[in-house]
C-alpha cells in the first residue's frame, strides 16, 4: 500500500522556528514529527511513501533519504506551492499505478490506526461504491478546521473548510488522513488547488465520501501552543512517572528532574538545577547551575547559563541564554538567538533566528 504525505507548507504560524526548519522536522519528544508519522504508517502495512515537498525540500530529503522504517521513500517536488490538492495530481503517475492509497497531512501527531481506516474504507467501497474515507476527530472548537455533516451510515453530507464561528455543521473535524481510490484524481480541478475547498464539497454532494471516527491522540502542530501541547501529550505517555534521560548525559549534584520530563543525549546540567514538570531538553544541551526550567521545550545544542529560569517557553536550536535571564509565558527564541545576561522576557516575546537581544522586554513583541 502507498501513502502520499503533504509536507510542503510554509509553517507560517510557527515562525520564527519554521524560518529554519520545515514543520515536519519539529521535534516531538526529541524526534521529528514526520518520524512518528512514518513509523505509524509502516506499522499499518504501508510499503511506499511519497513526500510531497516544497518549502525546504532539500532539508527533508537529506534527513529522510530513500528508505525508512522498511518503507521506500520518494519525493514529489513542486516548483511552486500546489496547495493540498495539486500535489496529488502532481504525483498521479506513481499513485495511479496500483489502486487505493492514503493521503496524509504531514503536520499531525496522532495514533490513528491506518489499517482500521483501510478496513472501514473497504467496507464503504463495497457497500456504497464510495471514493474516499476521511478520518474524523471531535474537538471543542471546530472553526479552525474542515468540518463535516455526517449521516447515520457515516456518509458525509457536507464538508465545510474553516467555517465561520457558529456556522459549523458539527464538532467532527477533518483529521487530515484519508484512504482514497485513484479516481479522486478526476475530481481535482486544477494543478494548484485545495482538496478541502475544491474537491471534498463536491465528493460529499455526490455521496462518494464516508467518515471514520478516531478517538485518541490527535494534534495539528500548526501553532506554537499546539506544538507545545503535542510534546506535553507525548511526555504524559512516555515519561509521566519517571523522567526519560538520554545516554552520556551528566547531571551534577543537587539536580532535580520532576516528571513528566525528557532529557536528550549528551546533555550537561549544573548543580542544583531543577527541570520539570513538562520539559523536553534536546541533545547536546548545556544548562548551568541553579537554573529552573518548567513547561518548556529546549531544542538541540542550546545553552542556558547559570541562575536563569525558563517557564512556558521554546528555546530554538543552538540558542544561547545568558546568566540570571528570565524567559516566561509563550516566549520563543529562534535558532541561534543570543540573550544577554540579566534580561527578562515576561510574555509572548519571539526572537528571530540569530538575533542578539540585550534588553528586557515586558510585553508581547517580535524581535527581528
CB-based burial label for 69 (10 Å; 0-12, 13-18, 19+): middle
The smaller minimum CB distance to Mg ion, of residues 196 and 328, is found at 196
Q: Of 96, 162, 213, 223, which residue is the catalytic one?
A: 162
If one asks whether residue 78 binds ligand GDD (CB under 6 A), the answer comes out as yes
- Grid cell, residue 22, equals 520545515
CA-derived radius of gyration, the chain: 22
At closest approach, how far in Å is the CB of 226 from Mg ion?
Answer: 9
Other C-beta atoms lying within 10 Å of the C-beta of residue 241: 6
Residue of this chain nearest to Mg ion (CB atom): 222
Q: How many CA atoms lie within 13 A of 9 on its CB side?
A: 23
- 349 touches ligand GDD (CB under 6 A): no
Binding-site partner at residue 276 among ligand GDD, Mg ion, none, CB < 5 to 8 Å by type:
none
Binding residue (CB under 6 A) for ligand GDD from 2, 3, 4, 8? 8
Site residue total, Mg ion (CB under 5 A): 3
CA distance 55 to 57: 5
Q: How far is the CB of 14 from Mg ion (least distance, A)?
A: 10
The correct pick among 18, 174, 302, 306 for binding ligand GDD (CB under 6 A) is 174
Contacts of 92 (CB under 8 A, 6+ apart): 185
Is the CB of residue 212 less than 8 Å from the CB of residue 180?
no
Q: 313: helix, coil or strand?
A: coil
C-beta separation of 29 from 235 below 8 A = yes
Site for ligand GDD in 128-157 (CB under 6 A): 145-146
Burial 338-356, CB ≥16 within 10 A → b, else e: bbeeebbbebbbbbbbbbe
Q: How many CB atoms lie within 10 A of CB 283?
A: 18
Q: Other C-beta atoms within 10 Å of 182: how many?
A: 16
Cell numbers standing for residue 16? 520564527
Using the contact rule CB under 6 A, the part of the chain among 5-13, 272-280, 323-331, 337-345 near ligand GDD is 5-13
Which of 37, 48, 95, 107 binds ligand GDD (CB under 6 A)? It is 107
105 makes contact with ligand GDD (CB under 6 A): yes
| Crossing angle (nearest 10°) for helices 33-43 and 57-64 | 50
Task: Answer yes or no: 162 catalytic.
Answer: yes
Position among 4, 6, 28, 310 found at the interface with ligand GDD (CB under 6 A): 6
83 binds, among Mg ion, ligand GDD, none (CB under 5 to 8 A by kind): ligand GDD
Check residue 161 for interaction with ligand GDD (CB under 6 A).
Answer: yes
Q: In whole angstroms, how close is the CB of 313 to ligand GDD at the nearest point?
A: 23
Minimum CB separation from Mg ion for residue 122, in Å? 28
Name the residue nearer to ligand GDD (CB basis): 105 or 302: 105
Partner from ligand GDD, Mg ion, none contacting 7, C-beta within 5 to 8 A by type? ligand GDD
Using CB under 6 A, list all residues that contact ligand GDD: 6-9, 23, 52-54, 78, 81-84, 87, 105-108, 145-146, 161, 173-174, 176, 196, 220, 222
Using CB under 5 A, list all residues that contact Mg ion: 107, 220, 222
Amino acid at each position: 500500500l502507498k501513502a502520499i504525505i503533504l509536507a510542503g507548507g510554509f509553517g507560517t504560524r510557527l515562525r520564527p522556528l519554521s524560518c529554519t526548519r520545515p514543520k515536519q522536522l519539529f521535534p516531538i519528544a526529541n524526534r521529528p514529527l514526520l518520524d512518528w508519522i512514518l513509523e505509524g504508517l509502516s506499522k499499518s502495512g504501508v510499503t511506499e511513501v511519497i513526500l510531497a515537498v516544497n518549502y525546504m525540500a532539500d532539508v527533508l530529503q537529506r534527513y529522510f533519504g530513500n528508505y525508512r522504517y522498511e518503507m521506500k521513500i520518494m519525493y514529489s517536488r513542486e516548483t511552486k506551492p500546489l496547495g493540498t490538492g495539486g500535489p496529488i495530481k502532481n504525483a498521479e503517475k506513481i499513485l495511479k499505478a496500483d489502486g487505493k492509497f492514503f493521503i496524509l497531512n504531514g503536520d499531525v501527531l496522532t495514533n490513528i490506526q491506518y489499517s482500521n481506516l483501510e478496513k472501514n474504507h473497504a467496507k464503504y467501497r463495497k457497500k456504497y461504491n464510495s471514493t474516499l474515507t476521511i478520518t474524523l476527530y471531535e474537538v471543542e472548537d471546530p472553526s479552525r478546521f474542515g468540518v463535516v455533516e455526517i449521516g447515520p451510515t457515516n456518509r458525509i453530507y457536507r464538508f465545510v473548510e474553516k467555517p465561520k464561528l457558529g456556522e459549523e455543521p458539527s464538532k467532527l473535524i477533518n483529521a487530515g488522513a484519508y484512504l482514497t481510490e485513484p479516481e479522486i484524481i478526476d475530481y481535482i480541478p486544477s494543478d494548484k488547488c485545495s482538496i478541502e475547498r475544491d474537491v471534498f464539497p463536491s465528493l460529499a454532494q455526490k455521496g462518494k465520501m464516508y467518515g471514520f471516527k478516531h478517538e485518541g491522540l490527535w494534534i495539528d502542530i500548526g501553532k506554537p501552543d499546539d506544538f507545545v501541547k503535542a510534546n506535553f501529550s507525548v511526555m504524559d505517555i512516555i515519561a509521566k512517572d519517571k523522567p526519560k534521560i538520554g545516554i552520556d548525559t551528566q547531571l551534577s549534584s543537587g539536580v532535580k528532574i520532576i516528571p513528566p520530563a525528557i532529557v536528550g543525549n549528551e546533555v550537561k546540567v549544573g548543580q542544583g538545577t531543577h527541570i520539570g514538570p513538562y520539559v523536553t531538553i534536546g541533545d547536546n544541551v548545556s544548562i548551568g547551575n541553579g537554573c529552573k526550567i518548567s513547561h518548556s521545550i529546549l531544542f538541540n545544542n542550546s545553552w542556558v547559563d547559570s541562575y536563569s529560569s525558563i517557564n512556558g517557553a521554546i528555546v530554538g536550536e543552538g540558542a544561547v541564554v545568558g546568566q540570571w535571564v528570565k524567559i516566561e509565558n509563550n516566549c520563543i527564541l529562534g535558532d541561534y538567538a543570543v540573550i544577554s545576561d540579566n534580561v527578562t522576557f515576561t510574555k509572548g516575546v519571539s526572537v528571530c533566528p540569530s538575533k542578539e537581544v540585550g534588553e528586557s522586554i515586558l510585553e508581547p513583541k517580535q524581535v527581528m
